[in-house]
Structure 1
Amino acid sequence: LSSCVMPVETPLLDQSHLKPGHKASLLSHSQTLELYRQNAKKTNDPDLQFEFAAFMVEASRAMNDEEAKKRDDLVKEGLALLRKLADRGHANSQYYLADCYASAIGTSKNKPDFDKAFPLFVQSSKHGHPDAAYRAGVCYEQGWGCRKDFAKAEQFFKKSASSSHPGALYRLGIAELKGELGLAKNPRDGVRYLKRAAENANEEFPHALHELSELHEKGIDNVCFVDIEYAVQLLIEAANLNYAPSAFKLGEYYEYGKMGCPQDAALSIHYYTIAAQQDHREACFALTAWYLVGSPGILPQSDTEAYLWAKRAAEKGLPKAEYAVGYFTEVGIGVKKDQLDANKWYRRAAEHGDKRAQQRLKGGAPIDEKKPKRDDCEMLEFSRAAEYEIRAVEKRSPKAINIFLPSVKTDQGKQLKMYKLSLLLPIFITLVIKIVLAQDSKNYATPAPTDIPGIPQPGPDQKNYEYSKLLSYSLLFYEAQRSGKLPPDNRITWRSDSALQDGSDNKVDLVGGYYDAGDHLKFTFPLSWTLSSISWGAYEWYEGYQTAGQATQLRDMIKWGTDWLIKAHSDPDVLYVMVGTAEVDHNYWGPDTNIPLPRPSFNINNSSHGNDAAAEAAAAMAAASLFFKDKVQDEDYANTLSFHAKQLYDFANQQPYVTYQTSVKEADDMYSSNGYQDELVWSSLWLYKLTKDPQYFDNAVNYFKQFKLSGQVNVVNWDDKTGASYILFVQCATELKRNDIDTWKAEAERYLDAVVSPDGRCRFTKGGLYFCEGDSDAASLNPALNAAFVSLLYSPFSSSDSKKDDYIKFAAKQMNYLFGDNPMKTPYVVGIHPNSPKDPHHSGAHGGTDINNPRENMHVLYGSIVGGPSKHDKYKDDRKDYKQSEVALDYNAPFQSLMAYQVINAKEDPYYVTLPPGRPQTNVALIVILVLLSLSVVGIGGFIYWKKYRNRN
């Protein structure tokens, strides 16, 4: 494999369009600059101000040393403006300023200053700048401006790779292949990264195309097969991006006729020239050979060009080129004879180990100047193919040659019998397959508990019983997460009244609500997302809850959450966002009867904003209000929720805009928000959907444009609602009968098409799980189920039947994976099948005070969705591995809505019903089938050979 290339010398952010005079040739540079300056002063638009700052820096680069003072003034003015914009959080300015520092622009002693560049790369990356994330990763890897930290480097490379940055993808691919960055060697993942890098290759980062070509030339067992034609095609793509190593290899292939390429002088010279123009020294020397002999009708012979290309290669330190220049200079080929100059080049070649040069300097035999030395290509180590005219490829003989079987004498009668037997084999194979497929129709699902009220039991009147049971289980899981004073009808026997003093430190009542995960912390932000998404699904598919007999449980589940949100919204401009701290809570493992203290509560308010959390809470209140008004028909409670939704919305729209962890530092390591932009759009849409006031929809549109949320590909989850907003835009625009409905449908379908595509930002595991690097590393099932949820929500609005089918099939595939159609044969829902996880990371369900003892959980956490498998489809049922085994409020949110949909629409039982117990093992019947198929192929092949043998004789 070639070495990893990480260019950092040139800016990744192209500002070439800002060079002085671009599209303004009638103005002088100074006039253009002044015009730009005046316009920049008139606007507060940071994007325009950034362009002006970049313009000044680019203009300074075009100035010569005679204008040094003017150049320095431009740089100072440009960098000063960039610093202002960077301090205001403008991502492009942060990146461009960092790139200037890294490129020694505006730095002391004109040397790169990574102490200044590095923190700016990091800041810009936090605003979603993929180039900045890549450069931050390079800094961490190289120790530029920071301590070397391979784990951090990997983290930033993955962040950049999630936006399909080819440099980051390439670096991760090489790291996986070679075991760099502290990673174990993993060729399979390395190739996957390289494939993605190749798909996104550009002139800055064409390297993955070349690497993949080399891999497909040689192959890697069970990872990458040998494919010569594809390897050449990859080189061509890289060469078209001016990647010199690829172009040079193609030059050789077409010169010698290697790798299935025909000998073609024109193509050889073409690719050598591409590489030589990038100062590839071997390519320069190859052109020397071509010019030395020429190619009739393609390249005229030229001693001068031969000498010049040899000299260019020699200046790059190629020993044989140094010797050749000495040879040319001594003899006078393409240059005036000069023995002193020749000796200089001989000395350089000799110092680099060239034995011929060493011999010449020792006084070797004199060169016979009468011989046509330009034909002595072997002596100069030129390409032999360039000595001769390219011959036409011989035509293949029309006579076919049988190479399938060796030519041996066989009894024709036996061959005929073999043929007849081969005809019977498919029939036999069909019977075997039927036997394998005709498995016992026994239902392998774990029976529902009969001692828990409200769980559906099988019966003739129960539609889609298994899905109804799953829906009831999910609601039961939320009951298991309840905090506070429990009601008399509590169904979770091991859950007690708990955390009855929450909020007392701030003299507010924060008792109740839901524990977030397997611990005893409470968070408003992910809870609000859980309530808004479940309310949305309930509003769309309420029939499913009614059919399953779960309408009452649904109402109670949502109300338990919104009752607490009402408490948390203690004043118009106050919202409590967190109860408890990780430092205290995560040092305790045990039941809810002895939760450690203190349990401080934290809020956002009119002096310490948190626009994202306030907006998400407003959305939750609005969505729940709509549900209670239209489905439950509880007008009073719906009005209460609507009142809080509007107050929270007004609070969320107060400036300055900041994320809630900016005000509540304790939340930073737990549920740190990536921004408030999507929540402001999301909440505006929900307020419109509740009130039907078009002003809220207009607010959503304005925020959408202001924050440039078009064309995003982020996963839908508690932290990012952009993808879900596309679908909600379509629903709201349809209600309003707006003229721009097609615009919103295009946004939604662009997003969903990327989701269902195998070539989108996220990929599919070998087993079929929708997997997004960075977002799926922990809780891999959550992005997949949220994607399935929004796909089904949008499917009725699809612009074509084929798209609708794609979205529905995608959702079905993800649900099947969840239910055991995966390499681990594990349904990732607790309590539904013998193969289900038995030890989720949940202290209450475990029942002990030591995470290791008892070994197995004492209580079944019915209906909980565990985090999920790795990108290799591997899952370990280990409660200590919280990334895979923890449960959480937001994990179950999409699952519950999907089950309501399935109760209404499913035509067959979930996959686990026919899944036999037991982990993956070799299927003996499958081996038998493969053996029989092989015998059948051999038999048919033998008969074909016999027929040809008979005809030939």
Structure 2
Amino acid sequence: GDNVKFNFPMAFTATLLAWSVIEFGEVMPPAEQRNALVAVRWGTDYLLKSISQLPNRIFVQVGDPNSDHNCWERPEDMDTARTAYIVDAPNPASDVAGETAAALAAASMAFRSSDPGYSETLLRNAIKAFDYADTHRGAYSDNANIKDDVCPFYCDFDGYQDELLWGAAWLRRATQDNSYLDYIQNNGQTLGAEENINEFGWDNKHAGLNVLVSKEFLEGSMFALESYKASADSFMCTLIPESSTAYHIDLTPGGLIYKPGGSNLQHSTSISFLLLVYANYLERTSQSASCGGMTVGPAELRQQAKRQVDYILGDNPKGMSYMVGYGGQYPQRIHHRGSSLPSIKDRPDSIGCKEGSVYFNSPWPNPNVLVGALVGGPSEDDSFEDDRADFRKSEPTTYINAPFVGVLAYFAANPNLS
């Protein structure tokens, strides 16, 4: 919704888009797979620029968020400070650099067959980014020179350790280099591999890490990695209401995965993605998830994902599709500058910083329909007000949409899943 480049969540977006292609690209229609790769490349081209001055400098953000958030203007009219926020060695940026490494490594796999030269560039730079992350350990938002401008927006709230393991796991998958496997095994304990295992999003990679690493245990019988499958199983069990696990992830009365905070659909889309990926890993190896006294197979995991997708697309108490432009009823007043302000085709003259307020405060639907965007979504009681000012519910984000690409690819290819 704003005009700032926040590298931390954007790198996660790129990772999940690339992972969508890796896992579900084969079932995408060729034109849609090309579209997905174009979207990945849009992100990775930018990320390559952001680390072009390694080994000693990484760019972590572009645009002053405080002045940007004081304005409501189109990207074409943007006149706020385009400050470049930099972390120089030996200052830490393990989170941003680690996620950037993951994104570039995952993308290198997505492009391996269609553009091997680009794939090699991505992988070479992923290694550089990871080296910075590991050498200069710490959170980027702890640097005094940038803290006030990256926080409270995309601070590292959950610690940088998970991004180190996540980056190493993606480099292991992309390179098959044993040094990254050794890194995961040697550092898993100290970097908290078994902590916060029921979270997955731009700030916490633990559940995704466990699913990703468990693939190697399931398919390669790497018994030293068995704890990652146990953690992945444990996470899946929290999503199965019938399981006897002590903790279950909260659902709204209508059945949507719900976690407090904002942009709640990010949890539903990213967790749905993990459900489908893990279901595939289990199915290929004829295994199941162990939930105390019961076992949960791929079919049950896919059913849980399908319930989330159906809810998001309109099968919910409000009958509201939370994907803009899809279905008979969808959000009309999303918190998005380009959608809510007149197109430059309709009003070519500039709309200044405060001149946009009249459109922000307008009760009318947005003039430009941002087709396909997923908004933050409803409250814990399934209510949704369609209010432009309520950014926690009405703002679309790339990291809500990215995992949904893979999810929809799966269900479009498997429409008869009962």
Q: Does residue 592 in structure 1 map to residue 86 in structure 2? A: no
Aligned to 1:537: 20
For the residues of structure 1 that align with 2:297 and 2:32, how far apart are their CA atoms? 32
Structure 1 range deviating more: 537-546 or 811-820: 537-546
Q: How does 1:830-849 map to 2 (within 5 A)?
A: 830-848=324-342, 849=356
* Normalised TM-score (structure 1): 0.39
Aligned to 2:36: 554
Aligned to 1:820: 314
Instruction: Rate the CA distance shift 1:658–1:761 in 2: closer, same or farther, 3 A.
Output: farther
Q: How does 1:187-226 map to 2 (within 5 A)?
A: none
Q: 1:703-735 deviations in whole A, cap 9, x for unaligned?
A: 221123226343210000000000111123345
Q: Is the 8 A contact 2:377 2:393 kept in 1?
A: yes
Q: Alpha-carbon deviation of 1:538?
A: 0.7
For the residues of structure 2 that align with 1:635 and 1:797, how far apart are their CA atoms? 26
Q: Does residue 521 in structure 1 map to residue 8 in structure 2? A: no
Q: Is the 8 A contact 1:588 1:596 kept in 2?
A: no
Q: Alpha-carbon deviation of 1:825?
A: 0.8
Aligned to 2:395: 886
Q: Alpha-carbon deviation of 1:755?
A: 2.8
The SS at the match of 2:189 is helix
Q: How does 1:800-819 map to 2 (within 5 A)?
A: 800=288, 802-819=296-313
* Alignment-mate amino acid for residue 614 of structure 1: A
For the residues of structure 2 that align with 1:765 and 1:908, how far apart are their CA atoms? 23
Aligned to 2:292: none
Match of 2:183 among 685, 699, 706: 699
* Alignment-mate amino acid for residue 768 of structure 1: G
For the residues of structure 2 that align with 1:802 and 1:647, how far apart are their CA atoms? 40
For the residues of structure 2 that align with 1:691 and 1:819, how far apart are their CA atoms? 37
* Alignment-mate amino acid for residue 309 of structure 2: M
Aligned to 1:628: 111
Instruction: Rate the CA distance shift 1:756–1:672 in 2: closer, same or farther, 3 A.
Output: farther
* Alignment-mate amino acid for residue 108 of structure 2: S
For the residues of structure 2 that align with 1:643 and 1:713, how far apart are their CA atoms? 30
For the residues of structure 2 that align with 1:770 and 1:638, how far apart are their CA atoms? 35
Q: 1:491-523 deviations in whole A, cap 9, x for unaligned?
A: xxxxxxxxxxxxxxxxxxxxxxxxxxx110001
Q: Is the 8 A contact 1:681 1:701 kept in 2?
A: no
Q: Alpha-carbon deviation of 1:901?
A: 1.1
Q: Does residue 712 in structure 1 map to residue 196 in structure 2? A: yes
Aligned to 1:146: none
* Alignment-mate amino acid for residue 639 of structure 1: E
Q: Does residue 566 in structure 1 map to residue 48 in structure 2? A: yes
* Alignment-mate amino acid for residue 814 of structure 1: Q
Q: Alpha-carbon deviation of 1:737?
A: 3.7
For the residues of structure 2 that align with 1:587 and 1:744, how far apart are their CA atoms? 44
The SS at the match of 1:740 is helix
Aligned to 1:360: none
Q: Is the 8 A contact 2:51 2:59 kept in 1?
A: yes
Q: Is the 8 A contact 2:314 2:327 kept in 1?
A: no
For the residues of structure 1 that align with 2:138 and 2:131, how far apart are their CA atoms? 15
Match of 2:257 among 766, 770, 773: 770
* Alignment-mate amino acid for residue 537 of structure 1: S
Q: Alpha-carbon deviation of 1:854?
A: 6.9
For the residues of structure 2 that align with 1:643 and 1:707, how far apart are their CA atoms? 24
* Alignment-mate amino acid for residue 257 of structure 2: Y
Q: Alpha-carbon deviation of 1:736?
A: 4.3
Instruction: Rate the CA distance shift 1:626–1:885 in 2: closer, same or farther, 3 A.
Output: same
**Unaligned segments of structure 2, at least 5 residues:** 289-294, 343-355
The SS at the match of 2:301 is helix
* Normalised TM-score (structure 2): 0.88
For the residues of structure 2 that align with 1:854 and 1:874, how far apart are their CA atoms? 19
Q: Does residue 757 in structure 1 map to residue 237 in structure 2? A: no
The SS at the match of 1:527 is helix
The SS at the match of 1:687 is helix
Q: How does 1:117-516 map to 2 (within 5 A)?
A: none
Q: Is the 8 A contact 1:837 1:877 kept in 2?
A: yes
Instruction: Rate the CA distance shift 1:757–1:694 in 2: closer, same or farther, 3 A.
Output: farther
For the residues of structure 1 that align with 2:377 and 2:281, how far apart are their CA atoms? 31
Structure 1 range deviating more: 589-598 or 683-692: 589-598
Q: Alpha-carbon deviation of 1:742?
A: 4.0
Q: 1:27-76 deviations in whole A, cap 9, x for unaligned?
A: xxxxxxxxxxxxxxxxxxxxxxxxxxxxxxxxxxxxxxxxxxxxxxxxxx
Q: Alpha-carbon deviation of 1:876?
A: 0.8
Q: Which has the higher contact order (CA 8 A, sep 6+)?
A: 2
Q: Does residue 658 in structure 1 map to residue 141 in structure 2? A: no
Q: Is the 8 A contact 1:545 1:554 kept in 2?
A: no
For the residues of structure 2 that align with 1:785 and 1:643, how far apart are their CA atoms? 30
For the residues of structure 2 that align with 1:880 and 1:711, how far apart are their CA atoms? 35
Q: Does residue 906 in structure 1 map to residue 415 in structure 2? A: yes
For the residues of structure 1 that align with 2:327 and 2:140, how far apart are their CA atoms? 41
Q: Alpha-carbon deviation of 1:628?
A: 0.6
For the residues of structure 1 that align with 2:73 and 2:382, how far apart are their CA atoms? 31
Q: 1:813-862 deviations in whole A, cap 9, x for unaligned?
A: 11111111111110110001221111111010112422023722111100
For the residues of structure 2 that align with 1:574 and 1:838, how far apart are their CA atoms? 42
Q: Alpha-carbon deviation of 1:654?
A: 0.9
* Alignment-mate amino acid for residue 661 of structure 1: S
RMSD: 1.8
Between the aligned residues of both structures, percent identity stands at 30
Q: 1:574-596 deviations in whole A, cap 9, x for unaligned?
A: 21111112211011112122112
The SS at the match of 1:578 is strand
Q: Which has the higher helix share?
A: 1
For the residues of structure 2 that align with 1:679 and 1:789, how far apart are their CA atoms? 19
**Unaligned segments of structure 1, at least 5 residues:** 1-517, 910-953
Q: Is the 8 A contact 1:609 1:660 kept in 2?
A: yes
Match of 2:125 among 644, 648, 653: 644
For the residues of structure 2 that align with 1:611 and 1:725, how far apart are their CA atoms? 16
Aligned to 1:864: 373
Instruction: Rate the CA distance shift 1:742–1:709 in 2: closer, same or farther, 3 A.
Output: closer
Q: Is the 8 A contact 1:789 1:894 kept in 2?
A: yes
* Alignment-mate amino acid for residue 119 of structure 2: A
Q: Is the 8 A contact 2:64 2:80 kept in 1?
A: no
